[in-house]
Structure 1
Amino acid sequence: MARELKLQNLWVIMKHILRSSNAKGKELCVQKTADRLGYGCARALFGQNWSTILKELSANCNHKFTVIAECFEKQCSFLLAQRLKRATQVMAFYNRLYGEKLIDQVGNSLLRRFHKKSLFCVLAATLFSWEENKIGDDVLNRCVYDMVHIQELVQKTRSQVVDGSCPWEKVIDRPHLIVWRRPLEFNSSLFQYKVYGKFDDVSARAFFNTQVDLEFWKQWDKLSEDIRIIDKHEESGTEVVHWTSKFPYPMYRRDYVYVRRYKVDNSNKLMAVYSQTVNHPICPVQDNVVRVTEFQSALVIKPYSDFDENGLEYVLTYYDDPQTTFPSVCYNWMATTGVPEFVDKLHKASKMMHERTQKGYRPAYYQNQNQNSHTTFTLNQTQYA
């Protein structure tokens, strides 16, 4: 009875406290009650020294967790070192088996995977040496020698004329088109071609713009799958161009990576465009395209009177290695038929360009062309390229 009376009195007191306290007092009361229950549970489990025991237990747990984390870190580092060592051994083993070819294939694979990413392109472009690959004024000056001395070659009536140590063989002789060829010094199975022609119904500027305007080039040359500028050296005006061209089935497509530079000389009334193959890290070799590694082209244009009036003569000297073996019959066909067909397409495209410029069309490079037109070529009448 006494215990029940005590509990009843305690209950009455608690009810009185709850009714008389405000909301804040209730929260404090509940909090104190919870703290007392927690202290009571801790004292019941660990005894009177429960606070000291909990601190020691917490410190012990922290120490053990720290030791476990350090062991885990050392184990991960050990495994990583082992994996790197194993990978190095594997690469060294395959390198001994296959030489540097394997390393090149792996590098090209990585380049093909990341070459479309803008950040990688910027980093790759920094690896390209413009000092070694830019086209200098001396190269363009050598190009114009062909125009200076072309009449000397045109007046030759023999089928073969001696030009230095290599004979030029005349393969086409028409009123407005003459084509010569000679074997290359570094590959006698390939030929270097020299084309001399005239157009009476096209202006020199339209003919020049047709050669330089790459966006227009993709429209008139149906064999060009893609052609674009991938890098440029602002100081010299040298550009890096990537050109992908279709080849007859079942041969693979061919692509060219080359540097080019053009120049307009108002004083001497000459225009020149020079191109030559180069290696650039932004455009690695692809598996489904054959890379042409030997290509060189030098075009010189001279108007009859003015750049914007009809009438011009031009000299084109070029060679390329299509990375395939053609019979001699095919080379003869390309020289006698392929070159005139290409010149005809170029003539029609130049007339289209002339009509566009008459309507106000200006290529994207037109402003830069005018800025560079004050420069002149250094002509030496006693030299011949």
Structure 2
Amino acid sequence: MARELTLQNLRVIMRHILRTSNTKGKEICIQKTAGRLGSECARALFGQNWSTVLKELSANCNHKFTVIAECFEKQCSFLVAQRLKRATQIMAFYNRLYGEKLIDQVGSSLLRRFHKKSLFCVLAATLFSWEENKIGDDVINRCVYDMVHIQELVQKTRSQVVDQSCEWEKIIDRPHLIVWRRPLEFNTSLFQYKVYGKFDDVPARAFFNTQVDVEFWKQWDKLSLDIRIIDKHENSGSEVVHWTLKFPYPMYSRDYLYVRRYTVDPTNKIMALYSRTVSHPICPVQDNIVRVTDYQSALVIKPYTDFDENGLEYVLTYYDDPQTTFPTVCYNWMATTGVPEFVDKLHKASKMMHERTQKGYLPEYYQNQNQSCHSTFTLNQTQYA
């Protein structure tokens, strides 16, 4: 019956199309024909109440889609909660297994990831206490006193009489270079070294600039992978330096994080530079580099006549723990060979610095050097007579 009704309706629609032959009314005819065809098809599928059936079907579909969306949301929330719970259990397990080691590793990883961010550097710098880590005037004074007593040590070394009371052992004795060593009090397997030398063809200021200017240091020291100043204290003149040094294969590279302070006394014609290791939150320990945690260096420079005239003598007292174990033969070889080679490189670099300054080169710290040129420590003229 429905099939016959549908065929009859189609015949009526076709007759209507054939009767409409004027071009002007074709669009209206097509619209009416399409509307009637749609209505007849819906009536054939759903009966006379086809509009009501379609509304009920649409409402039913909307309800089902809403239920499906709610179920999907609950399932996602459940999975996220399970993942978070699982991660918490894993963290608790490793925390019980390794204790604080895991926390330190995670913290170090975060520090390495964000230490280059300027905002993080500012926040980390606030955690560093300059009152505890700055280099005071008393330390600079003790450093300068090495120049006062060096001649006495040189006379004892080169005299024919053996002085058993002298704690320094001579390992190098050359006309312009003497090197001593003595065991450290807190670690007898390591040595503290004292180097005394003279240069007749280099001004004291050029030698001093070579030691202090980190940008120039990168150019002449080929073993330095990087050296930069990461923090400064304007009041005391102290600054924190990070220095990465390449070690021979297969050893890891070493890095030094130290606070230093340099000063110039024009009255007594003395230049001094003191450095010691320090910890700073901006530069955490890296996995592929060994941090040298014990390092101290004291350099004193005295010109023959003036800072800008050729001729100077210097005293360098230092020690460091390279965080490795070398045989005694290796230590002796490094002391007798490595120190003279480094002094030669430093001598050549100082001559290069002098040539550059004569052509107008100014070290990066030059303005700060002029501002802090007058030292805060005071020494009697008779001490250098």
TM-score bracket relative to the smaller structure: 0.7 to 0.9
Task: Note if contact 2:255-2:291 (Cα within 8 Å) is conserved in structure 1.
Answer: yes
Task: Note if contact 1:183-1:189 (Cα within 8 Å) is conserved in structure 2.
Answer: yes
Which residue does 1:150 correspond to in 2? 147
Question: CA 1:9 to 1:329, structure 2 compared with 1: closer, same or farther past 3 Å?
Answer: closer
CA distance in 2, matches of 1:31, 1:262: 95
Question: CA 1:39 to 1:276, structure 2 compared with 1: closer, same or farther past 3 Å?
Answer: farther
User: How many residues are aligned here?
Assistant: 366
CA distance in 1, matches of 2:66, 2:164: 89
Instruction: Report 1:318-357 matches (<5 A).
Output: 318-357=318-357
Task: Note if contact 1:130-1:233 (Cα within 8 Å) is conserved in structure 2.
Answer: no
Which residue does 1:275 correspond to in 2? 275
Task: Note if contact 1:95-1:102 (Cα within 8 Å) is conserved in structure 2.
Answer: yes
Give per-residue Cα distances to partners, 1:188-247, cap 9 Å, x unaligned: 2222223333323211221122112334323332333x1232623364565443333233
Asked if 1:306 corresponds to 2:306, the answer is yes
Give per-residue Cα distances to partners, 1:73-109, cap 9 Å, x unaligned: 2222222222232233233333333333344445555
Amino acid at match of 2:352: M
Give per-residue Cα distances to partners, 1:243-281, cap 9 Å, x unaligned: 332334443332323343444455554433333333455
Task: Note if contact 2:268-2:379 (Cα within 8 Å) is conserved in structure 1.
Answer: no
Which of residues 16, 32, 40 in structure 2 aligns to 1:10? 16
Question: CA 1:41 to 1:136, structure 2 compared with 1: closer, same or farther past 3 Å?
Answer: same
CA distance in 2, matches of 1:84, 1:132: 38
Question: CA 1:6 to 1:67, structure 2 compared with 1: closer, same or farther past 3 Å?
Answer: closer
CA distance in 1, matches of 2:41, 2:163: 116
Alpha-carbon distance, 1:294 to partner: 1.5
Question: Which 10-residue stretch deviates more, 121-130 or 242-251?
Answer: 121-130
Amino acid at match of 2:24: S
Question: CA 1:37 to 1:209, structure 2 compared with 1: closer, same or farther past 3 Å?
Answer: farther
Amino acid at match of 1:373: S
Instruction: Report 1:1-385 matches (<5 A).
Output: 10-11=16-17, 13-16=19-22, 19-21=23-25, 26=27, 30-31=30-31, 33-47=33-47, 49-105=49-105, 107-108=107-108, 114=113, 118-119=116-117, 122-123=119-120, 126-129=123-126, 131-132=128-129, 138-139=135-136, 141-148=138-145, 150-156=147-153, 157=156, 159=163, 167-172=167-172, 174-224=174-224, 226-229=225-228, 231-233=230-232, 235=234, 238-266=238-266, 269-280=269-280, 283-370=283-370, 372-379=371-378
CA distance in 2, matches of 1:51, 1:127: 71
Amino acid at match of 1:302: K
Question: Unaligned 5+ residue runs, structure 1?
Answer: none
CA distance in 2, matches of 1:77, 1:160: 81
Alpha-carbon distance, 1:350 to partner: 0.7
Give per-residue Cα distances to partners, 1:292-312, cap 9 Å, x unaligned: 222222323333443322223
SS of the aligned residue for 1:326 comes to coil
Amino acid at match of 2:21: K
SS of the aligned residue for 2:341 comes to helix
SS of the aligned residue for 1:126 comes to helix
Question: CA 1:169 to 1:161, structure 2 compared with 1: closer, same or farther past 3 Å?
Answer: farther
Question: Unaligned 5+ residue runs, structure 2?
Answer: 1-8, 157-161, 381-385
Give per-residue Cα distances to partners, 1:104-124, cap 9 Å, x unaligned: 445555666x46x854x7536
Give per-residue Cα distances to partners, 1:118-148, cap 9 Å, x unaligned: 54x7536633556325886643551243324
Question: Which 10-residue stretch deviates more, 317-326 or 170-179?
Answer: 170-179
Report the RMSD for the aligned CA atoms in angstroms.
Answer: 3.9
Question: CA 1:30 to 1:102, structure 2 compared with 1: closer, same or farther past 3 Å?
Answer: same
Alpha-carbon distance, 1:362 to partner: 2.5
Task: Note if contact 1:134-1:233 (Cα within 8 Å) is conserved in structure 2.
Answer: no
SS of the aligned residue for 2:197 comes to strand
CA distance in 2, matches of 1:317, 1:61: 87
- Between the aligned residues of both structures, percent identity stands at 68
Amino acid at match of 1:146: C
Task: Note if contact 2:202-2:311 (Cα within 8 Å) is conserved in structure 1.
Answer: yes
CA distance in 1, matches of 2:362, 2:134: 26
SS of the aligned residue for 1:297 comes to strand
Question: CA 1:5 to 1:35, structure 2 compared with 1: closer, same or farther past 3 Å?
Answer: closer
Alpha-carbon distance, 1:175 to partner: 4.9
Question: CA 1:309 to 1:160, structure 2 compared with 1: closer, same or farther past 3 Å?
Answer: farther
Question: CA 1:223 to 1:356, structure 2 compared with 1: closer, same or farther past 3 Å?
Answer: same
